[in-house]
C-alpha cells in the first residue's frame, strides 16, 4: 500500500509539469542561460504546484472538497476549471516566446486534456488525472522528438513504463477503474498533438 501511495505522490499531476520542464531543458537543443531556465522553472513551479496546492487547501477549508484526493466528479469541477485557466495562461505565455514556443504545446495540450475530461463529466466518466498527466508528458515528448528531430525514445519508453506502474497503483488504491485509467492516459497522449495541429 505504501509503495502505491509513493508512486501516486511522486507522479502526481501537479508535480509532472515541473518534471517535464526539467527534462525539456536537459534534452532541448535550444540554448537558454541558467537565469532564463531558472525563471521559467520558477514560474511553472508556482503556477502548477504552489497555486493548485493553495487552491486545494482553500477548497477543503470551505468544505467544497472532502479530501485532497478530490474523488467525486462534483468536487473535481472547480479545480479542473481553475487549472485549465492557469494552463491556458502558461500556453499563451510560451506561444509568445518564439525560442521556447514548443513548450506551449505542453500547456495547451493539458488544457485540451482537462477540457475533454470536463466534457465527460455529464456522462459520469471520471478519467484519471494522474494518467492524464502521464499521457500528456508522453505525448509532448513524442511531439518534441518530431519537432526538434531529437531521439528521445528511451525517455518515452520510460514514461510508458511509469504510466503502467502508476495505473497499477491507482487501481490498487481503488482510486479508479481500469476504464478511467485508460481513458485518462489516452486523452493525455493525444492532447499535445491536438494543440500542435490546431494552434
Per-domain boundaries in the chain: 2-198
| pLDDT of 121 strictly over 80 | yes
pLDDT confidence of residue 125? 87
Which residue reads 491507482 in cell numbers? Answer: 170
Whole-number Å distance between alpha carbons of 102 and 40: 14
Cα-Cα-Cα-Cα dihedral sign, residues 2, 139, 95, 87: negative
For 68, the 3-state DSSP assignment is coil
Q: List all residues 6 or more positions away from 102 whose beta carbon is below 8 Å from its beta carbon.
A: 143, 144, 147, 148
Mean pLDDT in residue range 109-118: 96
Cell of 109: 495540450
pLDDT confidence of residue 68? 66
Which residue reads 500500500 in cell numbers? Answer: 1
| Torsion angle of the four alpha carbons 118, 63, 52, 168, in this order, in degrees rounded to the nearest 10 | -60
Mean pLDDT in residue range 177-182: 92
Burial pattern 120-158, b for ≥16 Cβ within 10 A else e, equals: beeeeebbbbbbbbbbbbbbbbbbbbeeeeeebeebbee
pLDDT confidence of residue 1? 66
Radius of gyration of the chain from Cα atoms? 16
| pLDDT of 3 strictly over 70 | yes
For 169, the 3-state DSSP assignment is helix
pLDDT in tens, 35-92: 999 999 999 999 999 999 998 888 888 888 777 667 778 888 888 999 999 999 999 9
Amino acid at each position: 500500500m505504501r509503495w502505491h501511495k509513493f508512486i501516486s505522490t511522486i507522479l502526481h499531476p501537479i508535480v509532472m509539469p515541473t518534471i517535464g520542464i526539467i527534462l525539456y531543458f536537459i534534452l532541448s537543443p535550444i540554448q537558454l542561460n541558467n537565469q532564463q531556465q531558472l525563471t521559467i522553472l520558477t514560474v511553472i513551479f508556482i503556477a502548477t504546484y504552489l497555486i493548485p496546492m493553495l487552491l486545494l487547501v482553500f477548497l477543503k477549508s470551505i468544505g467544497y472538497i472532502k479530501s485532497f484526493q478530490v474523488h467525486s466528479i462534483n468536487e473535481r469541477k472547480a479545480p479542473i476549471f481553475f487549472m485549465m485557466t492557469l494552463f491556458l495562461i502558461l500556453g499563451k505565455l510560451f506561444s509568445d516566446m518564439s525560442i521556447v514556443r514548443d513548450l506551449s504545446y505542453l500547456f495547451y495540450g493539458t488544457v485540451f486534456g482537462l477540457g475533454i475530461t470536463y466534457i465527460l463529466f455529464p456522462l459520469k466518466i471520471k478519467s484519471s488525472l494522474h494518467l492524464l498527466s502521464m499521457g500528456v508528458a508522453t505525448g509532448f515528448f513524442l511531439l518534441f522528438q518530431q519537432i526538434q528531430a531529437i531521439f528521445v525514445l528511451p525517455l518515452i519508453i520510460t514514461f510508458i513504463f511509469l504510466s503502467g506502474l502508476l495505473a497499477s497503483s491507482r487501481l490498487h488504491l481503488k482510486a479508479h477503474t481500469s476504464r478511467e485509467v485508460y481513458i485518462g492516459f489516452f486523452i493525455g497522449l493525444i492532447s499535445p498533438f491536438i494543440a500542435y495541429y490546431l494552434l
